[in-house]
Structures are given as structure tokens and as C-alpha cells.
Chain A
């Protein structure tokens, strides 16, 4: 599903975030990428979503060489992915419902079917009762779950999450972990980057550890 071969990413300014990383993630796997801050976890996810391009090496996502993708093809790659960001990137000028609607709106989904799917996604993360609320008025955990609903509403084959449990307490983090596991159980490939090793260990999945841009295990 996702394979890295000898991938190096050097940012302008000389910072080397990844150094010769080679790894493979099969379809239907759930994988945790851990390591201290600055180890290259976010960069790894950004390379999969074509937000960054590798300096050398190749990143293949479901048969496509992401590094060589033409700009026009990037949107179609991203529609196969569900992205969850550290800073959530919710839009505060519209309701929770409309935030989750966004991925369906950009693909021109039929309206009634889209509304049904949005409600299903909100229900899945337990926010159905708050569909009309502006995300500003949601708690941190609720905002995170709203971001998750937006990432899965278009039923992507791959979900990428960057620090999904960032500032959440353990109980809440476990809830979100269970949510990802349930996506994985219906066949979605899940890649989660987190510095929270305890959280990763509790989930007992396959585990990739990065240290200073290299694979550590």
C-alpha cells in the first residue's frame, strides 16, 4: 500500500528530516510511528500525502510514485487519504456539519447522500448531537474527533494521523485509539505518528520507531 525506499528528505536550510528510510506498510495494517520530537514523524506522513516531496528515494502509495506526481494529479491522490493534523485545521467560519461536509463537497458528491454520510461520520465519533455547533465551542477532544470525522467521511483507503492524541488525557486518548482500531477492522490502512510511546504500546500494533531521521527498529 505504502512503500518507502531509501527516502531522504532535506529541507531548505539543510535540516535532514529523514535519512535513507526504507519501509513497507501493507494494505489493512495499522502502524504506529513513534520517536522523539524532530525525529521525522511528521515528514514521513507529509511525504505520503504529497505535502512534501522526497529529496531522494521514492515514495509509492497504492502504486503511484508520489514524489514524481504532477501537481494536477495531487488532489486525486489526497482523495484516497484521510488526513488528521496536529493542529486539526478545522474551519471556524462554519458548523461542525459543514466542516465534515468539505471532503465530499470538493468531489461533487450528490447532496442527500453526502448529508447522510456526514451524519454517519459524526455519529461514529459521537458528535451527532453537535452537528450545528461551531467548532470553536467544542472542547479539545471534541475538535480532535471532529477532525477524525472529516478524515473518514469520504471513506479513504488510508488514514494518516499526526499526533492525534496531542494534548488529550489517557482515557480520551484510548477512546481515539479504539476509533482508529475500528476503522482498521473494516480494512482501512492506518498510520499514526505519535510521540506518546505509552499510547502506542497500549494499542499493541506494528510499531515503527524513528530516531534522528533513521529507522530505529
Chain B
């Protein structure tokens, strides 16, 4: 067990030494892998940020129920009772038309326009939160409430957020397709690097076989090399995205100031960063495994 551990530690040490001994080649390979990974992962970061935004805006699907302009206090009372007793309604909040006008003046900066109106054009309204947020249940409730007397209009508020979410789902699919392509590129790059290494270390491999090295002993440093190179590429991709977000957020800060709302893109979380590194290391390992299996058998001492 200890010998096994030392063997692996040794392979790791020689691998690191090899990576450091050829700094230019290593740097080039690592940046190729880094750029290849940064493209899909960067897109993923953008999509994930938009997704977070969509969720924060449209997390609570709700119905807005607008009454007819001629509805009186008795109608309001009747409808309030009906909504509150409805089995699928979780909460119904009454918004009187005066309050709606006040909110409109305060929130949208249309105070001048509103003041110039001869009367209050807004109807009384209810904001209804359903027990079941699924779109079918919402639509059923909408269709039902629409038929009640003195109800002029019922609107599903979360619809645009749902559309955005559907769009983002498609974008996420595109990201995974792209990621698959670039994962293939990473495997190919590693395959070729290891092929060249095996060619240059031909003599060493031959001698090792002659003095009783097992195939797994010979394979081990190459597999480590592939995995380390993949890992370094993953780190490079992470750094590239970090740099990109830093620059973008600098530009967004200006926008954020103009809109008086915090707009900033967040980097990958711990979990996603971990998977990025694990994934790139695993792909590097896989690429070198393919290469070693393909090329090592060709070297037999004669």
C-alpha cells in the first residue's frame, strides 16, 4: 500500500517536472485548452446569470384581476369574498384604484402625465396568488374568474418570465452542444501531446519494458500528464472567464448607476467551478488514455 502510494507520488512528481521543463509547449497547450473551455463555460455563466434574473423577476406567478370601471364597493366586497373562499387561491390582495394611481405616479416617473389626467383612469384590482403555481392551474383560474360579473380583465403576470425561461432552456442546450464539441477538442489536443511524448520517450519506454516495468507503470506518468494538463487548462478557462467578467462588470457598473439597480454578472459558484476542474482533468486523462493505449503497444523491444 505504501509502495503503491510512493509509486503514484513519484509519477506525479516526474510529471510536474516534465510540465515545468518545457514551459513554452506547456503554456501553449494549456492556453489552447483554456480558450476552448472558456467559450462554452463563459456562455454558461451568462445564461446562468440571466436565469437568476428571470427567477428573481418571475418567481411568483400571479393573476391580476381588473374590475370594470363601474364596479361599486358592494361588487368589490362580493368578489373579495369569492376569491378568498376559492379553493385554489392562496392569497388575494385588494388594490383600490386610488392606491394604484399613487403607485403609478411614484414608481414610473409619469407623475406629470398622471396629474394632467382629468380623472382616475385605473380600475380597482386584485392581485391573486394561486396555491398551485403551474401554468395550467393559473390558466384555469384565469378562465374562471374572467366569467364573473363586473370583472373586466384578467392577466397572467408571469407569462413573459416563462417565455424567457423557455428561451434560456434552449440557450442552455446550445451551451451543452458547444461544450461537447470543445470537450472533443480537449481530448484531441491531449491525444496529440501524449503521442508526441511517447515518440520522444521511445527509448525510455523500451528500456523500461526490458527491465520488467508493467504496462500500468509505463502508462501512469502519461495519464498523470494528461490529467494535469487538463486541470491546468480548466484553471486557465476559469481565469479567462474571471478576467472577462471583471471587464464586463466594470462596464455594467456604469449601466447599473444609470438604472439605479445593481446589475453585475456573477462568476461560477464553488460547485460549478469544482465540476469545471474535475471535468477538464477527467477529459485530459481520457485523451491520454486513448493515446497511450493506441501508441504504447507499438513499442516492443527487439
Chain A residues close to B by CB (< 8 Å): 49, 51, 72, 75-79, 81, 83, 85, 89, 91, 93, 102-103, 105-111, 150
B211 touches A108 (CB 8 A): no
Q: Complex: how many Å from CA A101 to CA B224?
A: 21
Known: A51-B302, A91-B204. A103 touches B4 (CB 8 A): no
Q: Complex: how many Å from CA A102 to CA B209?
A: 11
Collect the chain A residues with CB atoms within 8 Å of residue B3's CB.
Answer: 108-110
Chain B residues close to A by CB (< 8 Å): 3-4, 6-7, 10, 203-204, 206-215, 217, 301-302
Other-chain contact of B207, A91, A108, A109 (Cβ < 8 Å): A91
Nearest-CB residue, chain B, relative to A150: B211
Q: Complex: how many Å from CA A72 to CA B217?
A: 12
B212 touches A51 (CB 8 A): no
Collect the chain B residues with CB atoms within 8 Å of residue A72's CB.
Answer: 214-215
Collect the chain A residues with CB atoms within 8 Å of residue B206's CB.
Answer: 89
Q: List 25 A-B contacts (CB under 8 A).
A: A72-B214, A75-B209, A75-B213, A75-B214, A76-B212, A77-B212, A78-B210, A78-B211, A78-B212, A79-B211, A79-B212, A83-B211, A85-B210, A89-B206, A91-B203, A91-B204, A93-B204, A102-B207, A102-B211, A103-B211, A105-B10, A106-B208, A106-B211, A107-B212, A109-B3
B6 touches A111 (CB 8 A): yes
Other-chain contact of A106, B203, B217, B301, B302 (Cβ < 8 Å): B217
Nearest-CB residue, chain A, relative to B213: A106
Nearest-CB residue, chain A, relative to B208: A106
- Nearest Cβ in chain A — how far from B66, in angstroms? 80
Collect the chain B residues with CB atoms within 8 Å of residue A107's CB.
Answer: 212
- Nearest Cβ in chain B — how far from A140, in angstroms? 19
Collect the chain A residues with CB atoms within 8 Å of residue B209's CB.
Answer: 75, 78
Nearest-CB residue, chain A, relative to B201: A93
Collect the chain A residues with CB atoms within 8 Å of residue B211's CB.
Answer: 78-79, 83, 102-103, 106, 150
Nearest-CB residue, chain A, relative to B7: A108
Collect the chain A residues with CB atoms within 8 Å of residue B217's CB.
Answer: 106
Q: Complex: how many Å from CA A127 to CA B214?
A: 29
Q: Complex: how many Å from CA A77 to CA B209?
A: 11
Additional 18 contacts, C-beta under 8 A, given A75-B212, A78-B211, A106-B213 = A51-B210, A51-B301, A72-B214, A75-B209, A75-B215, A78-B209, A78-B212, A83-B211, A89-B206, A89-B207, A91-B204, A102-B208, A103-B211, A106-B214, A106-B217, A108-B3, A108-B6, A109-B3
- Nearest Cβ in chain A — how far from B207, in angstroms? 5
- Nearest Cβ in chain B — how far from A197, in angstroms? 27
Q: Complex: how many Å from CA A60 to CA B106?
A: 98
Collect the chain B residues with CB atoms within 8 Å of residue A77's CB.
Answer: 212
- Nearest Cβ in chain B — how far from A16, in angstroms? 17
Nearest-CB residue, chain A, relative to B3: A108
A103 touches B212 (CB 8 A): yes
Q: Complex: how many Å from CA A51 to CA B209?
A: 10
Q: Complex: how many Å from CA A208 to CA B3?
A: 42
Collect the chain A residues with CB atoms within 8 Å of residue B6's CB.
Answer: 108, 110-111
B212 touches A89 (CB 8 A): no
- Nearest Cβ in chain A — how far from B143, in angstroms? 72
Q: Complex: how many Å from CA A91 to CA B214?
A: 18
Collect the chain A residues with CB atoms within 8 Å of residue B214's CB.
Answer: 72, 75, 106
Q: Complex: how many Å from CA A107 to CA B209?
A: 12
Q: Complex: how many Å from CA A89 to CA B208?
A: 10
- Nearest Cβ in chain A — how far from B180, in angstroms? 35
- Nearest Cβ in chain A — how far from B240, in angstroms? 34
- Nearest Cβ in chain A — how far from B218, in angstroms? 9
Collect the chain A residues with CB atoms within 8 Å of residue B213's CB.
Answer: 75, 106
- Nearest Cβ in chain B — how far from A183, in angstroms? 17
Collect the chain B residues with CB atoms within 8 Å of residue A93's CB.
Answer: 204
Nearest-CB residue, chain B, relative to A77: B212
- Nearest Cβ in chain A — how far from B12, in angstroms? 14
Q: Complex: how many Å from CA A35 to CA B211?
A: 27
Nearest-CB residue, chain A, relative to B211: A103
**5 nearest interchain CB pairs?**
A79-B212, A78-B212, A106-B213, A108-B3, A103-B211
- Nearest Cβ in chain B — how far from A99, in angstroms? 9
Q: Complex: how many Å from CA A108 to CA B213?
A: 10
Q: Complex: how many Å from CA A76 to CA B213?
A: 8
Nearest-CB residue, chain A, relative to B10: A105
